[in-house]
Amino acid sequence: MAWTHEEMAARAAAELHDGDYVNLGIGLPTKVVDHVPEGMQVWLQSENGLIGIGPPPYEDEINPDLIDAAKQTITMVPGASICSSSMSFAMIRGGHMDQSILGAMQVSEGGDLANWMIPGKLVKGMGGAMDLVGGARRVVVLMEHNTRAGEMKILRRCSLPLTGANVVNRIITDIAVIDVTEQGLVVKELAPDVSREDLQERTEPTLSFVGL
């Protein structure tokens, strides 16, 4: 049985450490803010210039001037700060983000990431993704294991334009947690009732199950 989006976000939140500075990508990764462990102080950053993102606002808390990079309204935790976009990207490019948790269209067995465009389709641009995967100390991908059409997203080689080469450290999907290592892809966890055979059938590269 696959993990729900909330369960995936909770599993991604388990990657956080007290005091971390973390950027959450657009889409599913934004749900991670709802699952930060109680008592843990994590500084969630948005590349449009905010450090200290809190949970989504209740209706009476909505401030249209407080938005994240996906233009969703947000709240701020005590101690949060607002800065210019240029300062925000200086933090990212300067290597000050402990982690980046973001979505993906494809990930290769070598940790290559494609998450910003499909050739032939209109796109607004890659946003801050290229800077984030190049500047963050650790990159975690949070995505569905396969497309809605059942196509594989974890591949030997990405067929879509790359956001970054050899940048992904861990992949969290709806059916597994997989690490990218020099020896290949190593499965760390399986969703309930998902067998090794099921996972391998839905993944192009050969997987290792050492210690699982």
The CA distance from 202 to 192, in Å, is 16
Q: What's residue 176's pLDDT?
A: 98
Instruction: Count Cβ atoms below 10 Å from residue 40 Cβ, excluding itself.
Output: 12
Torsion of CA 43, 49, 53, 57, to 10 degrees: 180
Residue 28's alpha-carbon distances to 8, 10, 152, in angstroms, are 9, 11, 19
Q: Residues 57-63: what's their mean pLDDT?
A: 92
Q: Please list the alpha-helical segments (H only) found in the chain.
A: 5-13, 85-93, 129-135, 196-201
Q: Please state the pTM of the whole predicted model.
A: 0.93
Domain-wise residue ranges, the chain: 5-208
Maximum Cα interatomic distance, the chain, rounded to a whole number of Å: 51
Tell how far CA 43 is from the center of its chain.
15
Indicate whether 191 pLDDT > 80. yes
pLDDT digits (tens, 9 = 90+) for 118-146: 666 656 666 788 899 999 999 999 999 99
The CA distance from 125 to 19, in Å, is 31
- The amino acid present at 212, given as its one-letter code, is L
Class of the domain covering 5-208: alpha beta
> Residue 26: which pLDDT band, with cuts at 50, 70 and 90?
confident
Q: What percent of the chain has pLDDT over 90?
A: 81
What residues are annotated to the active site? 47
Q: How big is the CA angle at 143 (ends 140 and 144), to the nearest 5 degrees?
A: 150
Indicate whether 111 pLDDT > 70. yes
Reduced to 3 states, what is the DSSP secondary structure of residue 180? strand
Q: What percent of the chain has pLDDT over 70?
A: 95
pLDDT digits (tens, 9 = 90+) for 143-173: 999 999 999 999 999 999 999 999 999 999 9
> Residue 209: which pLDDT band, with cuts at 50, 70 and 90?
very high
